[in-house]
Amino acid sequence: MEGSDLYRFVHGKLVHLHWSPEQIAQRLRLMKPDDPSAHVNHETIYAAIYAQPRGGLKAAMIEALRQAKPKRGLKRRTAAGSAMVPESLRIINRPEEIEARLVPGHWEGDLIKGAFNRSSVGTLVERKTRFVILCKMDGNGAEAALDSFTRQMRRLPADLRKSMTYDRGSEMACHRELARRLKIDIWFCDPHAPWQRGSNENTNGLLRQFMPKGTDLNGASQTWLNDVANLMNNRPRKTLGWRTPAEAMADEIVAFKSTVALDV
DSSP the chain: -TTSHHHHHHHIIIIIS---HHHHHHHHHHH-TT-GGG---HHHHHHHHHHSPSSHHHHHHHHHH---PPPPSPPPP-SSHHHHS-GGGBGGGS-HHHHTT-SS-EEEEEEEE-GGG--EEEEEEETTT--EEEEE-SSSSHHHHHHHHHHHHTTS-GGG-SEEEE---GGGTTHHHHHHHHT-EEEEPPTT-GGGGHHHHHHHHHHTTTS-TT--GGG--HHHHHHHHHHHHTS-BGGGTTB-HHHHHHHHHHHHHHHHHHH-
Domain of 189, CATH number, reads 3.30.420.10
Query: What's the CA dihedral at 128, 133, 138, 142 to 10 degrees?
Result: -10
Torsion of CA 45, 51, 52, 55, to 10 degrees: 120
Residue 75 domain flag:
no
pLDDT value of residue 53: 62
Of 210, 249, 242, residue with least CA distance to 28: 242
What range defines the domain where residue 60 resides? 5-64
Say if residue 159 is in the same domain as residue 211. Answer: yes
Asked if residue 177 and residue 51 are part of one domain, the reply reads no
The separation between the first and the last C-alpha atoms of the chain, rounded to the nearest angstrom, is 55
| 150 and 251, same domain (yes or no) | yes
Same domain, residue pair 23 and 60: yes
Identify whether residues 105 and 161 lie together within a single domain: yes
- Is residue 79 situated within a structural domain? no
Q: Is residue 72 part of a domain?
A: no
Task: Write the CA distances from 84 to 47, 80, 117, 171, 180, integer angstroms.
Answer: 51, 5, 21, 11, 17
94 and 44 within one domain: no
| Low-confidence residues in the chain, pLDDT < 50 | 67-80, 264
Same domain, 106 and 201: yes
Residue 77 lies in a domain: no
Q: What local confidence, expressed as pLDDT, does residue 139 receive?
A: 86
In terms of domains, do 96 and 208 share one?
yes
pLDDT of residue 60: 62
For residue 113, give the nearest of 132, 133, 139, 77 by alpha carbon. 139
Same domain assignment for residues 195 and 157: yes
pLDDT at 37: 81
CA 139, 143, 145, 147 dihedral sign is negative
**In-domain check, residue 95:** yes
Of 147, 148, 144, which is closest to residue 133 (Cα–Cα)? 148
pLDDT at 175: 95
Check whether residue 114 and residue 202 sit in a common domain: yes
136 and 182 share one domain = yes
Per-residue model confidence (pLDDT) at position 135: 98
CB-facing half-sphere around the CA of 114: CA atoms within 13 A: 18
Report DSSP letters for 56-109, one per residue: HHHHHHHHHH---PPPPSPPPP-SSHHHHS-GGGBGGGS-HHHHTT-SS-EEEE
CA distance to 193, 214, 252, per residue, from 167 (Å) = 8, 22, 27
Q: Which amino acid is present at 192?
A: H
54, 177: one domain? no
* Number of domains into which the chain is organized: 2
